[in-house]
Structure 1
Amino acid sequence: MPPRKKTKGAAQAPSTPTVDEDAMDIDPAPEESNKPAYDILKDPWTDEQETSLFKGIIKWKPAGMHKHFRVIAISEYLRNHGYNPEVHEHTRIPGIWEKLGTLYNLPIIDERENSFDYEDDVEQKFLEFKLPEADFEDLMWNRGKTRASEARSSPPQLNRSPSPQAGRKRKKGDTASKPRASTVDDTDETKTSPARSPQPRISRSGRGGNRSSGRTKVEPSSRQPSKDTTVDEDEEDDGDEEEEEAEEEDGTPSPRASRSSGRGRGGAANKMRFEKFCLCITHLHHAPHRGLLQSHARPYAPDHCKPEISGLKSTVGMAPINKRSNSSALPAGYKEDLSKGPMLRFEDSLPKLPVPTLEETAARYLKSVHPLLTSSEFENTKQAVTDFLKPGSFGPKLQERLLARQADPKNKNWIYEWWNDAAYLAYRDPVVPYVSYFYSHRDDRKRRDPSKRAAALSSAILEFKKQVDAGTLEPEYMKKLPISMESYQWMFNACRVPAKPADHPVKYPAAENKHIIVIRKNQFFKVVYEIDGKQLNTSELEQQFKQVYQKAERVQPVGALTSENRDIWTDAREILLKAHPSNAKTLKEIESSSFVVCLDDASPVTLEERAHQYWHGDGENRWYDKPLQFIVNENGTSGFMGEHSMMDGTPTHRLNDYINNLIFGNKIDFSDPSIRSNLPEPTVVKFHITKEVQQEINRATKDFVELIGAHELRVQAYQGYGKGLIKKFKCSPDAYVQMIIQLAYHKMFGKNRPTYESAATRRFQQGRTETCRSVSDESVAFCNAMADPDADPKTIVDLFRKATNAHIAYIGAASDGKGVDRHLFGLKKLIQPGEEVPALFKDPTYAYSCHWFLSTSQLSSEYFNGYGWSQVVDDGFGIAYMINENSINFNVVSKGMGSERMSFFLNEAAGDIRDLLMPTLEAPKAKL
C-alpha cells in the first residue's frame, strides 16, 4: 500500500541521510557540477548493458533515502549479469550515477520520493490498495457475484497459490510485506534476440489516466503457448528482413513463459490480473473473429501445470525466419491442409516460382552490368540484349518454352531439378571446401567435458528431430507469408551418394534407423538412441560417448574418401564395395544414420582455429556426404558442418539455434542420473580395407592437404559496433554491411567487381535461392566518392543512402522470383542441341557478370561465434558475415588472393562508414 503523499505546495527539499564513510564504503551520488554536455558518441554503455541497468532500476528504484543501498544492489545485479566492473569500469557505482544523471532529473525524483506526509494516526500512514475501477469494474462485479454464490473463482486446473487477504493494514514495524516485484522479467537466462512473435493485444474496458493501469496491463505475448515460428520486430529492416538465406537473420527463440506465481505488489492484485487475463483469453477463443488468435493457439496454462515432455522443461520454439502470419488471416490462395501436419500444411497452396517477362529481366540485367563495363562494352551488350528481345527472335521462343515448363502440373518449381543438378549434384569438385559450410557454436562453460557436451547436443538434436519426423514443426514465414518446408525431409536419416555423371540423395525411414554414427580416431561407432521405445536420456547418452572414447583405436581414415573429387570418390566407392561384402552394410549404417557426431582430438581456441576445424578439419574423422555433422573437440568446444546439396542454410540455422537455445536456456532436463542396465554398448562399424582401398585413401589424404593448403582463412571479429548503431543510422543492416564489403574491395583493388549475395525464394513451392547482384551504379558512385579526399561528406552520405536503397530494391525483387540469374539460366537450359546459341549468352559480359569475385551471405545467431564457407572462383573471396547487436563478424576465405589484407580493409571500411554517418545522429534528450 503506497504512503499518502503531500500536496505540491507542501513539498520540501530532498533529504539525504548522512553516511558514515568510515563504517561503510558507499559511493555517494555525484553533486551538481558544471560538466560538459552529454555526448552520445562517448557513451560507453552498450544496449545490453543499458537493458540490464533499466531492469535493475525497475527492481531497485535508486531514489529517496535508501538510494545508495539500492544503487549497490543495481551494481551487484549488473555484475551477476556478466558485467565485471573491473573490466567495464563504467558499470561501477560512480558510472551508474553518471549514467542516471544523463537520463533523469535526479534531484526532482528525490524530492518527489521523500515528500511524504504521515498523519498522526499511525494506522493512517498507509492507504488501502484498490484496483482502478476503470480497468477492473466488470471483473470485480463478477467476483462479487461469484463469492455470493460460494462458487470457485477460477478454473480448477490452474492450481494457483493462495493470495493474501485484501485490505490488510500494515502496522508500523511490520516486516511481512513482500518486496516489489519487477515489472520486467528478471532472469539470468541467456539473452535472446529481440525477435518476438506478434500477438493480438487484449482489449480493455477503459484506459483512463491512472498510473496503476500501466502496472496491471497484461501482455499476452508472454502468456501465449510457445510456437516454433517467430517474427522479427525490426520492421525498419526492410532490406535484410526480406532476403538472405530465408533469412540468415537473427536466430530467435520463442517468447519466455511468464511467471504466474502471484508474487509481487500484492498477491490479490496479481490474482485478479491473472483472472482478468483468463477471462479475456476465454472470450477470444470463443469469439467468432478467430483472426484475433492463432488458429492453432491453445488456452494458457501456467508452466507448472504443463506436463514434462520428453525431457523438455517447457515447450520451446525456434525460427530464424523473419515474418509470422496468422494462419487464419492468410492472403487469398493460401490454404491449410491439416492432413499433412503442421509443418507441411501450407505446402500445396504456396505459389509456383514465377517466370519474369523478358523485358523485366533485360532491363534489370542491363542495369546490373552497367557499372562493371566500359562504354563500348556496354553498347555491345545492349545490342545483344536488344536482338534477343526482338519479335520472332530466339528469345521469345525460349520464353514460351520456359512458360510451358512452369505451367506443367508435374513441375512444382520449374528450376528445382535443374538447379539441384547443376549447382550441386552434378558439380564434380570436392564438397569440402567448395560446397560445405560450417557454424561455430558459442562455448558451453557448464560442459567442458566433451562427453557431456556431445550428450547435451545429441539430446537437443533428437528433440528437434521428433518434430521434423512427426511433421509437427511449425512452418516458417517470410514477409508474413508461409514458406516452403519441403527441404526439411533431407535433414535426418539422409545422405548424398556419389555417382556419375551426377550424385543423388538417399533418404532412409526414420522409424527403422534410430541410431547415430559417432566417429572417433577415424573409427565409426553405431549408437542406438532408442531402446524399448524410450529415448536415451542425457546421462545415458553421456555414458555411450564415454564408452566410445574408451574403446576407440586409431584406424585408417576411410572417411577421407568423401573429401575427393566426386568422380574419383565414385570409383573409390566401387572399389570399397568390392573389397568385402560387409562393407556395403557398413556404408548403409553410416548413410542411414540420423546424424553424425565427430569426436576430434583437436582443441581449437581462436576463432580462426575453430573455423578451420569445423569447415574442413584435417580431412579425417568425417563423413562429408552427410548433411548433419556435429563436431566436438577435446576442450569441449563444438560446431556444425553441413552438406549443401538438398538444403540451404536456413533449416540447419534453425536447428542449431534451437539446440543451443535448449542448452543455454536450461530448457532441457539434464538432471535424470538414471542409466538403464540393459543398454547396448556402442558398436564398431568396421570397414575391411584391401591394398586397393588403401591406395585410394592415401590419394584422398594427399589431395586434401594440397587443396586445403592453397586456401587462406581469416576472421575479422569487428567490435566497433553492430546492428544497434546501424539501426540508429536508419539503415538496413544487411545493405549497410554489403556496402562495407564493396568499399573494402574497392580499397584493395581500386574498383568493384561482380558480387553475389543469396536471396531466399522459399515462399514459393520448392523454393531455394536467387542471386542478388550487389554492385550497382549507386554503390560504385559511393565507393568512388569515399576514395575522393575532396568529396563533400554530405554528398557521400546521400550517395550511401542511394546505394543501400538500390540494394534493398534488388534483393526484394530477387526474393520475389524476379532476379536475373535464374531466369537467364532457365532460358539457356532450354536451348536444344543443334540450335544456335543467342549472342546474349556468347557475349563476354554474360560470363563476366556471373563470375563472382565476391560470394557473400549473411546469417546471424547469438549462439554462434563463427560461420562460413569457401570462395566460388579461384580469383575471388568467400565472405560470410554475422551482424550482431554490437559486433560484425566476417569470415574471409580465398585461394591465395590475400584474405588477411581483405580482413584489414573490412575493418577499415566499417570504421569509415561509421565515421561518415555519426554526424547524422541526434543527441538524445535528457529524460525527466
Structure 2
Amino acid sequence: MITVNKIIHNYSVALKKFAQSRNFATKVKNIRDVDYQYLQRSKIPTMHFQKSLPRLPIPELSKSGERYLNALKPLLTSDQYSEAERRTNEFLVKEGKSLQKKLIAKDKVNKHTSYISEYWFDLYLRDRLALPVNYNPLIVFQNDVRPEYNNQLVRSTNLLISAVRFMLSLRSELLEPEVFHLNPKKSNTRLFRSVTGMLPEAISWYGAYLFKAFPLDMSQFVGLFGATRIPQIAKDRIYRDPNSKHVLVQRNGNFYIFDVLDADGNLLTPTEILGNLSSILNDNTPKAEYPLGVLTCQNRDEWATQRIHLQESGNGDVLQKIDSAIFNLVLDDETIHDNKHKILHHYLHGDGTNRWFDKSFSLIVTRDGVSGINFEHSWGDGVAVLRFFQDIYAETIKKPFIHPDTKPANSNINVTKLDLELDDKSKLFIQKAKNEYKDWCDSLSIDYILYEGLTKEACKKFKVSPDCIMQLGFQAAFHLLHGKYVGTYESCSTSAFKHGRTEAMRPCTVHTKAFCDGLHSKKASKDDLRAILQECSTTHSELVKQAAMGQGFDRHLFALMKIAQDNNIPTPELFDSYEYKILNKSILSTSTLSSPSVLAGGFGPVIPEGLGIGYSAFADKLGAAVSSYRTHNDSTQFVEALQKSFIDITKILSG
C-alpha cells in the first residue's frame, strides 16, 4: 500500500532530478559563470503561486453602496447628502442589480484574470494626457554611503548589471516569488520554501496560507523589461519584446544601444559593460540640437501623429530599437548633490530633452551619481517596481561588480549611436514640444517636508496607525488653508489577488472631519481630540484592510459603469451626479512608498486644481513630496500648513 509519506518522498526525488537536469541544461547553455547570470536562484519558480492565487472578489452591491455613502458624508452638506442617499438607494434597487449580475457573469467566464484588469488597462491606454507629471511617478535611490561608488560610470554600470541579472532571473523563473509574510520569523524560512515548492502549482497558494504567508500577483513583472507604450490615435498599445538583448542609453539627447547579452544569452562581463558605458560617456558628440525624446512629453494623439510621420520619414528602425530595448538608461550631465527640490523636479519631469517617457521605466543617473527611476504606469503598479528597485539597490550596495579602480575591457564594445532622419517638419515638432514642455514644467510647484517630531515607531507606541497620522495631517493642512474637505484618494494595492491592480482608499472620513473641525475651532479639549484621533486610526485601518482585500467600492462602481457602456445601457444617474464627480475629483491624490532604499518618491497632481502627495513614514521621521500647479496651489504653503498640523497632532498624542 502506498502511503502519503511515500508519495511525498517520490515527488521530492522527482523534483530533485528535475532541478538537477535544469541546472545541467543551464550550465551547458551558459559558457560564463552561472552564478553571475542571475541575481537570484530561487528554489521556488517565480510563477509557482500564480495559478492558485485567489481571484479578486466582486463586493456585495449593498456593501459598496454603504461604503460609497460613508465616503461622501464629510464632503457634502446635509441636503446634498440626502439627495445622494436617495440617488444611491435607487441605483442599488434598480440598474445596479442588473449591472451586478452582468459583471458577475462576465467575471465567471474570465477566471484567468480579475474583473478590473481589462478595464484598468483600457483606462490608462485611452487617456490622451501626456505621460510625464500626469502619470509617470518617480522613485530615487538612497546614495551609496561610499562617495567613490557614486561616480556616474561606476554607479550606472553596477545598476545596469544588477538590473539585467534581475531580468535574467525573471526570464528563467529563478526570481524569488513576491510573498507577504505575516510573521517572517515563522514563514520566511527554508522550510516554507521546501514545502510550498514541492506542492503542485494548483494548490501552492493554500500551502503558503497555512504558514500565514500570502503570495502576491507576479503577472506585472514581465512588463518591466523590453516594453514600451506606443502612442496611437484614441488608444495606445503596449509593445513587448521578451527576447530583447540590448539596452537603450540616452546622453545629451542622443540615443545609443548596445547588447548586454551575447549570442548565447549570457550577460556580458562587468568590465565589458563598463567598457561600453565608458565609450558612451567619452563620446564627444555634441548635445542634440533636436532631441527626439521631448516628443514623448506631449498629448498622446499629437505624439501618435508625429510618430507616424517619423516612421514614414525613415526612422522606423530607430524607433523599433528604442521600443524593444530592455530598458532605458539615462546618463544626465546634471549635478544635484543633496538638493531635494532639484531631485524632485529632475526625476519627475526634467527638461524632456534626455528622456523617453514611453519606456516601461528609465533608470536615470546624474553626473554626481544620484540615481532613480521614472516609470510608465499603464503596464503596472508600485509593487513590481519597488521590488525591482529594492533588489538592485541592495546588490549594488552590498556586493557591486564594479569598483572605482576597475578598468574597462577593450573587447566586446558594441555601442551603436542611433542616427535620426529629421526633416523640417519633424524639427518643428521638436521645437514646439520643447517650448510647450518648458512652459508646462515652469508652472509646477514642488516642495517637500521631513518632520522629525514623529516617527513610524512613535506612532505605534501611541497605538495609532502611522499611515492614518500622515493622512490626518494632509486633511488638517488642507482644512487649515481652505476651510473645507475635498475628494481624497489613497492608492492601495490589491496584488494579493490574481491580476489585482489597486483600490482607492478614502481617508477623508467623518472622524477626520470631526478632528480637524475640533482642532481648528479650538472648541475641543486635548482629551476629546485624542479620543477622536483614536477613532480616526481605527476607522482608517479598517478602510485600508477592506481596500487591500478587494472590499473597497471605487473599482466596483467603476466596473459597473463600464458594464453599462459595454451593453449599450444608458449611464445610470448615479455616475452623472454631482456627488460622484466631486468624490472622484481627486484634489488630494496620495500614495505611500516606504523602503530604506528610497530617498524620495512622488508624482504630479492628477488634476489642475489638485495636489500630488507621495509620502513615507520612516524610522526616524515623516516625509512627503508635494506637487501642484502654481495657478491653483502653492506646494510650499501646503508644506508649511502640514508642518503645523504635524506639530499639533504630536502635541495631542504626547499630551
Match of 1:876 in 2: 610
Q: How does 1:85-104 map to 2 (within 5 A)?
A: none
Pick from 255, 260, 264 the counterpart of residue 529 of structure 1: 260
Structure 2: distance between partners of 1:714 and 1:497:
32
Pick from 104, 113, 117 the counterpart of residue 403 of structure 1: 104
Query: Would you say 1:544 and 2:276 are equivalent positions?
Result: yes
Q: How does 1:156-175 map to 2 (within 5 A)?
A: none
Deviation at 1:733, TM superposition (A): 1.6
Does the C-alpha gap of structure 1 residues 814 and 689 become closer, same or farther in structure 2, counting only changes over 3 Å? same
Deviations 1:295-314 (A, max 9, x none): 99x9xxxxxxxx98544999
Match of 1:914 in 2: 650
Structure 2: distance between partners of 1:770 and 1:576:
39
Deviations 1:134-177 (A, max 9, x none): xxxxxxxxxxxxxxxxxxxxxxxxxxxxxxxxxxxxxxxxxxxx
Deviation at 1:719, TM superposition (A): 2.7
Structure 1: distance between partners of 2:526 and 2:344:
38
**2:463 counterpart SS class:** coil
Deviation at 1:532, TM superposition (A): 5.4
Q: Is the 8 A contact 1:607 1:865 kept in 2?
A: no
Match of 1:345 in 2: 48
Structure 2: distance between partners of 1:800 and 1:410:
42
Q: How does 1:331-730 map to 2 (within 5 A)?
A: 342-390=45-93, 393-409=94-110, 412-422=113-123, 424-444=124-144, 445-478=147-180, 480-510=213-243, 513-531=244-262, 533=264, 534-551=266-283, 552-555=285-288, 556-580=290-314, 583-605=315-337, 606-666=339-399, 668=401, 670=403, 673=406, 676-730=409-463
Deviation at 1:666, TM superposition (A): 2.8
Deviations 1:713-751 (A, max 9, x none): 111122333212122112222122111111111211122
Match of 2:197 in 1: none
Does the C-alpha gap of structure 1 residues 557 and 349 become closer, same or farther in structure 2, counting only changes over 3 Å? same
Structure 2: distance between partners of 1:503 and 1:311:
37
Tell me which amino acid in the other structure corresponds to 2:654: M
The more displaced of 801-810 and 345-354 is: 345-354
TM-score by length of 1: 0.61
Deviation at 1:842, TM superposition (A): 2.6
Does the C-alpha gap of structure 1 residues 669 and 703 become closer, same or farther in structure 2, counting only changes over 3 Å? closer
Deviations 1:757-797 (A, max 9, x none): 01111111111001001111111111111113242111111
**1:890 counterpart SS class:** strand
Q: Is the 8 A contact 1:455 1:539 kept in 2?
A: no
Deviation at 1:810, TM superposition (A): 1.2
Q: Is the 8 A contact 2:278 2:408 kept in 1?
A: no
**1:343 counterpart SS class:** coil
Does the C-alpha gap of structure 1 residues 416 and 518 become closer, same or farther in structure 2, counting only changes over 3 Å? same
**1:431 counterpart SS class:** coil
Structure 2: distance between partners of 1:873 and 1:448:
36
Q: Which structure 2 residue ranges, 5 or more long, are not aligned? A: 10-14, 20-31, 183-212
**1:597 counterpart SS class:** strand
Match of 2:635 in 1: 899
Structure 2: distance between partners of 1:801 and 1:476:
33
Q: Is the 8 A contact 2:177 2:218 kept in 1?
A: yes
Structure 1: distance between partners of 2:36 and 2:640:
46
Deviation at 1:543, TM superposition (A): 2.1
Match of 1:327 in 2: none
Structure 2: distance between partners of 1:665 and 1:447:
12
Structure 2: distance between partners of 1:679 and 1:667:
21
Q: Which structure 1 residue ranges, 5 or more long, are not aligned? A: 1-284, 290-294, 299-306, 318-337, 920-928
The more displaced of 719-728 and 431-440 is: 719-728
Match of 2:550 in 1: 817
Does the C-alpha gap of structure 1 residues 836 and 651 become closer, same or farther in structure 2, counting only changes over 3 Å? closer
Deviations 1:392-422 (A, max 9, x none): x222111111111111136521221111111
Deviation at 1:893, TM superposition (A): 0.4
Q: Max radius of gyration: which structure? A: 1
Structure 2: distance between partners of 1:865 and 1:718:
15
Structure 2: distance between partners of 1:425 and 1:875:
23
Deviations 1:813-843 (A, max 9, x none): 1111111111111111122476433222232
**1:518 counterpart SS class:** strand
Deviation at 1:383, TM superposition (A): 0.7
**2:150 counterpart SS class:** coil
Deviation at 1:517, TM superposition (A): 0.9
Size of the aligned set, in residue pairs, is: 593
Tell me which amino acid in the other structure corresponds to 1:474: E
Q: Is the 8 A contact 2:38 2:169 kept in 1?
A: no
Deviation at 1:677, TM superposition (A): 4.4
Does the C-alpha gap of structure 1 residues 481 and 834 become closer, same or farther in structure 2, counting only changes over 3 Å? closer
Q: Is the 8 A contact 2:148 2:404 kept in 1?
A: no
Pick from 844, 847, 853 the counterpart of residue 581 of structure 2: 847
Query: Would you say 1:856 and 2:590 are equivalent positions?
Result: yes
Tell me which amino acid in the other structure corresponds to 1:427: D
Cα RMSD over matched residues? 2.6
Q: Is the 8 A contact 2:149 2:404 kept in 1?
A: no
TM-score by length of 2: 0.86
Q: What is the percent sequence identity of the aligned residues?
A: 28
